[in-house]
Structure 1
Amino acid sequence: MGYGVGGGGSTAPEGSSSPVRLSHLRPGVPCVHVQGCLDDAAVPGFQHLVRGLLDAAPWAVVLDLRALTGLAPGAVAALVELARHAGEADIGLYLVAVDRPVARALAAGGVHRLFEIHRSVDSALRAMSRRP
């Protein structure tokens, strides 16, 4: 799957209907922004993008889920797989979410403890600076 340039210097999977955008907060810290519904159709592209970022061995990856309006069960499974992959590679994986749907979906799956969830990207960046 190819990636094209989206607004603000971000990239997205080709085909402008993708709910996923990529930016870089600072060197070694990519941020994946998800907007709308992360449904079963969008999950494979999202998972492929984040797994590729993790395979490139950044210092950390931020998943900005603040604009997320829905989360399919397959998205929760994808997040769990990505958390495990990041943990095995000792890469920080930070979720940014302000709404309860993300936390509820993760709690319903019994996997919320796998994630460090922040209310803002700035909060995630501050937490990274405290990481050994």
Structure 2
Amino acid sequence: METQSVELKAGEQALIGKMMVKNTSGTAVTLECTGQGAVLHQSEIVNSDATATFAMKVYYVVMNIYIEGDEGLAKWRDSFLTLMNLAIESNVPSMVEIMTEIGDALVLGNFRSALNACLKLIAREVELEQQAGMDVPVAAE
């Protein structure tokens, strides 16, 4: 079984499995979680309103797959494939490369790795937009 340590600052919330937990103490606490399931700090959780950019749409889909596991993969697969096709059509090799990395991780069941790769996609999107002189809303940091 997988063991993961989660540090929560005072007042911070996190999703652990299917539960939201909140540190109500006045100091940081470290939780040791054993088993399988999503672990997301509140700052890593986005809702559909935060999907203003392509990369954030991908992050939202992959985040839901990570939270829901194999059932989420079945539910969100078509959404991911639609976004993958958009990446291919964009003809931006660096975006396609990162999307392929995300897709490979999803196929292997490494949902957390896929979510982490989404952060690379977000960073690359910001770089490309800055190079083009456009203003990009940054949602998940």
The structure where strand makes up a greater share of residues is: 1
Tell whether the structures are fold-level matches, with TM greater than 0.5: no
Report which of the two structures shows the higher radius of gyration computed on alpha carbons. 2
